[in-house]
Amino acid sequence: MYHCFWRCVLVIVSLLFCSFFLHDKIQNVEYKLLLKEKDKAWQILVQQISSESKNHLETFKEMQQRAPLLQHAKYRFLAGAPPQQKKLLTVGISSMQPPGGSHLLDTLRSVFEATSEPECRSIVVLVHLSDPDPEWLNQTAANISRLFAPHIEARELLVIHGLLGGSPVPGNLSDANHTSPCEALYSRQKVDYALLMNFASSLSDYFLLMEDHVHCSPKFVSAIYWALSAWEELPWVILEFSSLNMSGKVFRSSDLSRLTSFFFLFLKGTPAHLLLSNFSFLLGQTVPISLAPNLFHSLGYNFTSRNTCYQEEREEEENLGKPHNPPASFYTNMMSTGSTVPEYAYLMNGSYFQTQYLIPGHKYTVVFRQPHMVTHIKFLTGIGKLGLFYLQQGQVELGYEPILEDNACARYALLGPLVKGKFYQKVHYEEDFVEAVRCVRLLVTAPHDSAVWIRNISIWIKSGKG
Question: 10 versus 32: which is more confidently predicted?
Answer: 10
Reported as half-sphere exposure (CB side, CA atoms, 13 A), residue 138 has a value of: 3
Kindly indicate whether the domain formed by 328-461 is annotated with CATH number 2.60.120.260. yes
Q: State residue 71's pLDDT score.
A: 82
pTM of the model: 0.84
Which pLDDT belongs to residue 184?
A: 81
Q: What pLDDT is stored for residue 64 in this prediction?
A: 52
Confidence at residue 7, expressed as pLDDT on a 0 to 100 scale: 57
Q: Identify whether the C-beta of residue 206 lies closer than 8 Å to the C-beta of residue 288.
A: no
**Is the pLDDT higher at 405 or at 353?**
353
For residue 1, the 8-state DSSP code is -
Q: How far apart are CA 284 and CA 277, in angstroms?
A: 11
Q: Assign 171 to helix, strand or coil.
A: helix
The CATH homologous superfamily for domain 68-309 is Spore Coat Polysaccharide Biosynthesis Protein SpsA; Chain A (3.90.550.10)
For 9, 91, 193, 330, the CA distances from 190, given in Å and listed in that order, are: 19, 17, 5, 49
Quick check: 59 pLDDT over 60? Answer: no
Residue 5 has pLDDT above 50, yes or no: no
- Closest to 392 (Cα-Cα) out of 413, 368, 370, 362: 362
3-class secondary structure, 239: strand
The percentage of residues in the chain with a pLDDT greater than 90, rounded to a whole number, is 58
How high is the pLDDT of residue 434?
Answer: 67
What pLDDT sits at residue 98?
A: 79
Contact indicator for 196, 210 with CB cutoff of 8 Å? no
Please, what's the b/e burial string for 418-446 (b: 16 or more CB within 10 A of its CB; e: otherwise)?
bbbbbbbbbbeeeeeeeebbbbbbbbbbe
Q: What is the pLDDT of residue 178?
A: 56
Residue 2 has what pLDDT? 43
**What is the band of 10 on the pLDDT scale with cuts at 50, 70, 90?**
low
Judged by average pLDDT, the poorest of 12-21, 99-108, 147-156 is 12-21
Per-residue pLDDT for 302 more than 50?
no
Mean per-residue pLDDT of the chain: 82
Considering only 27-31, 267-271, 396-400, which range has the smallest mean pLDDT? Answer: 27-31
C-alpha span between 328 and 267 (Å, rounded): 50
Q: Would the pLDDT of 297 be above 50?
A: yes
Look at residue 70 in the predicted model and tell me its pLDDT: 84
Q: Which residue has the higher pLDDT, 386 or 251?
A: 251
pLDDT above 70: percentage of residues in the chain: 76
Q: What is the mean pLDDT of residues 137-148?
A: 96
Name beta bridge partners: 92: 126, 209
Domains of the chain by residue range: 2-61, 68-309, 328-461
What does the chain come to in residues?
466
DSSP-derived letter for residue 265 is H
Torsion angle (degrees, nearest 10) of CA 320, 326, 330, 335: 30
Query: pLDDT at residue 15 above 60?
Result: no
Which tens digits make up the pLDDT trace of 316-335? Answer: 556 788 999 999 999 999 99
Query: Which positions ≥6 away from 167 have C-beta within 8 Å?
Result: none
8 A C-beta contact, residue 264 and residue 67:
yes
Is 112 a residue whose pLDDT tops 90?
yes
pLDDT above 90 for 432 = no
User: What confidence tier does 301 reach under pLDDT thresholds 50, 70, 90?
Assistant: low
Binned at pLDDT 50, 70 and 90, residue 19 comes out as: very low
The predicted structure's pLDDT at residue 403? 79
- Indicate the pLDDT class of residue 8, thresholds 50, 70 and 90: low
Higher pLDDT, 247 or 282: 247
445 pLDDT above the threshold of 90: yes
